[in-house]
A and B are shown apart, each in its own frame.
Chain A
Amino acid sequence: MTPLAGRGVGIGWRPEISGFVAELPGLRFVEVVAESLPHSGEPPEALARLLAAGVAVVPHGVKLSLGGAEPVDPHRVEHLAQAARAVNAPLVSEHIAYVRAGGVEAGHLLPLPRSREAVDAVVANVARTTAELDVPLALEPIAALFEWPDDELTEAEFLTEILERTDALLLLDIANVYANALNRGEDPMDLLNRLPLERMAYVHVAGGRIHGGRYHDTHTDPVPGEVLELLGELCARQRPPAILLERDGHYPPAASLRAELDALSAATGYPVITAAPVT
């Protein structure tokens, strides 16, 4: 049984929208930025209330740098494992990306060259991480505006090999799939048709916008209709066990967020979470 089965539509918990999230009557799961959880292990009070109400909390790491050639920092791994224990998480997630090298922080997720050496680096770092975790790890492919010049593997080959060699689950970000395909002039279905979709633990959806002729996965804009359509196409092939809306700033009025959550329900067929569940 996949860890988030039956959890349906969720939302990325952020302090700025904790009041909104607390009042979603049908909510069954949230994600929290793992690095934002305190080292002491005590989750913030608002999250503790969600946990008490039976909402699953998934720590989502953004700074582990699993794709770095350098070994992951054991302290960061320990914090992620501790965060998972503190919220009794069914799983944790991180990115197929690197965020620092040689002591320089990028401040964001950077793409990897799609090379065998990079696959090896990710596999080694995932092994170092899962050795400390009590729960499964899901890996999220990122959106990037640029690619490395000398890729050896297609994106599908690169991701599939990492998943096969690590036993990790897939956190598919459908907006990232859309963004990369648009910016590369590819058909997003080509990637969806080649990924091991049965490995999906859950799916991310986020907003973005076109700026300077490129699609930017901002998480601060509305979810485009094209992304919702792609989500529908994904569900037609393989419905993900759960789906989560990410919003990271420029928070809209509550009615707009509710409408986006309802749109995720409509696209996936999962119950609406903005109204009390029918019993």
Chain B
Amino acid sequence: MSGGTLTGSDLTGGGLARRQEELVRALVAGAAMPAGFDAGAVAATQTALLRKRAEDVARTWPRLAASAGAGQWPRVFSAWAAGHAPLGSLRDGWDYARANPPGDAAATRELALRELLWTYDGENSPRPRRGPAARLHSGELLIRWRGRALTFRTR
């Protein structure tokens, strides 16, 4: 054992729900690792989980991922995401973008288009915005019409 003790209920069964929750919190949400697990194997799992999340988010937020520079996205996203429990690639990317506002034009446009179509309070799942709307973003007119984005260059 690598520290900690197993209680009687652990050894005789029972407590599966609690033990599963402790493990998942330790793997993705920064909680302490329960006793007895192989630290190296768990760390490798955490790294692999973060890399998979980074790839998922890059599919949903391709411009945001590209804005990190060639080959840099898995590293920069993982550095932010470690300890942030996964909320799905749409929210993970959105939260990352709000915490680390992108500097490049393609990524800020990607974020602006998401903000045009969805309302997201950072706490609950994003919901589609209703009704038509128009925004001006970096010389481009972004129109929301029937749930879709239409874009027009204005200069």
Once A145-B45, A214-B41 are accepted as A-B contacts, the answer to whether A105 and B86 lie under 8 Å apart by CB is: yes
Inter-chain contact B42/A146, CB cutoff 8 Å: yes
C-alpha gap A202/B1 in the complex (Å): 38
The contact of A107 among B11, B37, B42, B53, by CB within 8 Å, is B53
Query: Chain B nearest CB: distance from A157 CB in Å?
Result: 15
Tell me, yes or no, whether B19 is within 8 Å of chain A by CB. yes
Tell me, yes or no, whether B28 is within 8 Å of chain A by CB. yes
Once A110-B23, A146-B38 are accepted as A-B contacts, the answer to whether A214 and B13 lie under 8 Å apart by CB is: no
Residues 6-22 of B, flagged 1 when their CB comes within 8 A of A and 0 if not, give 10001101101101110
Chain A interface residue count, CB cutoff 8 Å, equals: 33
Tell me, yes or no, whether B48 is within 8 Å of chain A by CB. yes
B37 partner residues in chain A, CB cutoff 8 A: 146, 148-149
Query: Chain A nearest CB: distance from B131 CB in Å?
Result: 23
Tell me, yes or no, whether B87 is within 8 Å of chain A by CB. yes
Inter-chain contact A150/B36, CB cutoff 8 Å: yes
Inter-chain contact B41/A146, CB cutoff 8 Å: yes
Inter-chain contact A68/B20, CB cutoff 8 Å: yes
Inter-chain contact A145/B41, CB cutoff 8 Å: yes
Inter-chain contact B44/A69, CB cutoff 8 Å: no
C-alpha gap A15/B95 in the complex (Å): 26
B85: nearest chain-A partner, CB-CB = A104
Tell me, yes or no, whether B55 is within 8 Å of chain A by CB. yes
Inter-chain contact A118/B25, CB cutoff 8 Å: no
B89: nearest chain-A partner, CB-CB = A107
Indicate the member of B38, B52, B53 with the most A CB atoms within 10 Å: B52
Once A108-B52, A149-B37 are accepted as A-B contacts, the answer to whether A102 and B24 lie under 8 Å apart by CB is: yes
Tell me, yes or no, whether A241 is within 8 Å of chain B by CB. no
Tell me, yes or no, whether B117 is within 8 Å of chain A by CB. no
Inter-chain contact B20/A69, CB cutoff 8 Å: yes
C-alpha gap A171/B44 in the complex (Å): 26
Residues 49-77 of B, flagged 1 when their CB comes within 8 A of A and 0 if not, give 10011011000000000000000000000
Indicate the member of B20, B27, B29, B47 with the most A CB atoms within 10 Å: B20
Inter-chain contact B16/A121, CB cutoff 8 Å: yes
Q: Which of A149-200 contact B (CB under 8 A)?
A: 149-150, 183
Tell me, yes or no, whether B35 is within 8 Å of chain A by CB. yes
Inter-chain contact A214/B17, CB cutoff 8 Å: no
Query: Chain A nearest CB: distance from B142 CB in Å?
Result: 25
Inter-chain contact A101/B21, CB cutoff 8 Å: yes
Tell me, yes or no, whether A49 is within 8 Å of chain B by CB. no
Inter-chain contact B25/A104, CB cutoff 8 Å: yes
- A selection of 19 A-B contacts at a CB cut-off of 8 Å is A69-B16, A98-B24, A104-B24, A105-B28, A105-B87, A105-B88, A106-B86, A107-B49, A107-B53, A115-B13, A116-B13, A117-B13, A145-B42, A146-B37, A146-B38, A148-B36, A149-B36, A150-B11, A214-B44
Chain B residues at the A interface, C-beta cutoff of 8 Å: 1, 6, 10-11, 13-14, 16-17, 19-21, 23-25, 27-29, 35-38, 41-42, 44-45, 47-49, 52-53, 55-56, 85-88
